[in-house]
Amino acid sequence: MAPPSAIEVQAVTDTSGVTIPDPLSAPVKSNEINGRRKKTVKGQWGTAAPADSVNFRQRSHEHKPKARRWDHFLSHEASIRKSNSLKKAAKFLGNPGIISLGGGLPSSEYFPFEQLSLKVPAIGHFSEAETRDSGVVITAGKHDLANDKSIFDISTAFNYGQGSGAAQLLRWVTEHTELVHDPPYQDWGCTMSIGSTSGLDMVLRMLSRPGDVMLSEEYTFATAVETALPLGVRVAGVAMDAEGLLPEAIDDLLSNWDVEARGGRKPHLLYTVPTGQNPTGATQSTERRRALYKVCQKHDVVIIEDEPYYFLQMQPYTGPNAPDVPPPSSHAEFLKNLVPSLLSMDTDGRVVRLDSFSKVISPGSRVGWVTASEQLLRIYQKHADVSTQGPAGMSQLILWKLLDEHWGHEGYLDWLMHIRMSYTKRRDVILQACEKYLPKDVVSWVPPMAGMFHWMKIDFKKHPDYPSKEIETIEEEIFMRVIDHGTLVMRGSWFYADAEDEHQTMFFRATYVAAPAEKIDEGIRRFGEAVRAEFGLEAYANGNGHAVGQ
């Protein structure tokens, strides 16, 4: 795929007739970001240098409303948390000529690393094969900062850092967030996380107390439920359709909340994965998001927007024999085609957005970031300082060398478009296999528009053992039969938000991201075979082998 042209500048025409960009409201031209960056001094990039995301924003946000305060939801733990006391000493480090015998940071003299190099794709040549052939070697030296070779190096990144993450990567992440989401309130910012799993854990410890109930999709990420339960926070599932959460269902639930019957105060937290939801693959439309945001305003609900799959939004699905939709022709078109985030609608500062590099760069980086109001960010950072600390400096250096110094924002958008097109292909493989092999009278699905998951509904009432056997027994039998046929898919019941609710639906989740195309095809063929056998249906006519090339 050729690299697309640069993002187009939205411009305003002034009275002189000359076209000039509007620095306040025009989307940032992504390749201009480096030019717009504030002048920096070496000292701000040093070891464990404190950094504030707000200083890395490039547009003015002064004209926007301030975020609401969330004191009424803070846990005891969050409300008594203090700043790290040893930082009191840091303010004297700026004194000219001062010799610090204060902080116990080890000297980088004792880090046994002289140089780190990575072979990574050149922009526009992103596949594994291309990277082997035309990959670029990027290198971090130990003392690049002192030697004016770079603003980030081994000596700095491999030492202690701040809970907020390294200034270098925090700048990049803040710029990216401003470029993509431009939150419509004044005092937003970012802080690094060690991944969104930890992010959710820390947000829950900040905003909940035992006995609370958190809302979520009725089928949800099992780890989220398992993070919440030991904190005494139960998860209440909200009804969904193909576009995910139903705002009316939330309104109903909260308008009629019975504290006694429910055994917990009225929920003030919504955990949602708006894009390519796990496990259902559902993506909330723009209208759906606006309605959800409104209902959360009505009931004063804080939204935890967990968005690992945001950039796994794919091309529209056109069906087996229709031509593909052409890829986005520019960064502007690419960004415009993304469903807007809840963060981008957040005039109250009630969204805590969790972003992650896990699905678009590497889960093994354990680097993500949180975007929220200054009040919540400060608490998060203080907690990070005495628990997780910032993400591994080794990871931060690797990501920064790739994303900032090598690719830049432009190159990263190109990479994201590459991912978009690759996932589209994979998604199409599984959908075409499903259309070919699955008995449509018992299996139905909605083509996923984003994410990693294909969610298949089973009409369990057609099962020969229904209603003599319970729905979960039938689900287990189908699951085991699929295993016997040589495929592993996930049982829908593993994803119940609340396992004690009664469920009258049956689903299986398949992913199209891990196996190569021919295995996906064969895996679905086996799944179809197993379902047919379970339901006593005729076998697929050409079902005796691989269907490669069809």
Instruction: Give the nearer residue to a copy of itself in terms of CB position, either 490 or 506.
Output: 490
Q: What are phi and psi of 19, to 5 degrees?
A: -80, 120
Of 512, 495, 499, 501, nearest to 223 by C-alpha is 495
Q: Are 188 and 348 in contact (CB under 8 A)?
A: no
Instruction: Give the nearer residue to a copy of itself in terms of CB position, either 238 or 419.
Output: 419
Instruction: Give the nearer residue to a copy of itself in terms of CB position, either 46 or 184.
Output: 46
In the complex, what is the shortest distance from the CB of residue 99 to a copy of itself, in angstroms, rounded to a whole number?
A: 4
In the complex, what is the shortest distance from the CB of residue 135 to a copy of itself, in angstroms, rounded to a whole number?
A: 5
In the complex, what is the shortest distance from the CB of residue 22 to a copy of itself, in angstroms, rounded to a whole number?
A: 34
The tokens 């390519």 sit on which residue?
276
Instruction: Give the nearer residue to a copy of itself in terms of CB position, either 60 or 473.
Output: 473
Q: Is 439 helix (H, G, I), strand (E, B) or coil?
A: coil
Whole-angstrom Cα distance, residue 238 to residue 236? 7
Whole-angstrom Cα distance, residue 458 to residue 441? 9
Cα dihedral across residues 292, 297, 301, 302: positive or negative: positive
HSE-CB for 172 with a 13 A CA cutoff: 26
In the complex, what is the shortest distance from the CB of residue 381 to a copy of itself, in angstroms, rounded to a whole number?
A: 13
Q: Is 476 helix (H, G, I), strand (E, B) or coil?
A: helix
Whole-angstrom Cα distance, residue 349 to residue 68? 6
Q: Are 356 and 309 in contact (CB under 8 A)?
A: no
In the complex, what is the shortest distance from the CB of residue 225 to a copy of itself, in angstroms, rounded to a whole number?
A: 8
Whole-angstrom Cα distance, residue 530 to residue 539? 9
Of 225, 227, 232, 226, nearest to 210 by C-alpha is 232
Two structure tokens written together for 191: 């802080």
Whole-angstrom Cα distance, residue 216 to residue 277? 11
Q: How far is CA 82 from CA 71, 92, 232, 327, in A?
A: 15, 20, 24, 50
Two structure tokens written together for 341: 């985030």
In the complex, what is the shortest distance from the CB of residue 194 to a copy of itself, in angstroms, rounded to a whole number?
A: 6
In the complex, what is the shortest distance from the CB of residue 10 to a copy of itself, in angstroms, rounded to a whole number?
A: 30
Instruction: Give the nearer residue to a copy of itself in terms of CB position, either 31 or 159.
Output: 159
Cα dihedral across residues 328, 329, 335, 340: positive or negative: negative
The strand pair at 443-444 and 19-21 is best described as unpaired
In the complex, what is the shortest distance from the CB of residue 518 to a copy of itself, in angstroms, rounded to a whole number?
A: 10
Q: Which runs of E-coded beta strand occur in 194-289?
A: 213-217, 234-238, 240-241, 244-245, 269-272
Q: What are residue 21's DSSP bridge partners?
A: 11
Rg (the chain; Cα; Å): 25
In the complex, what is the shortest distance from the CB of residue 424 to a copy of itself, in angstroms, rounded to a whole number?
A: 13
In the complex, what is the shortest distance from the CB of residue 454 to a copy of itself, in angstroms, rounded to a whole number?
A: 8
Instruction: Give the nearer residue to a copy of itself in terms of CB position, either 202 or 339.
Output: 202
DSSP label of 73: G
- The kind and range of the H/E element at 170 are helix 167-180
In the complex, what is the shortest distance from the CB of residue 360 to a copy of itself, in angstroms, rounded to a whole number?
A: 8
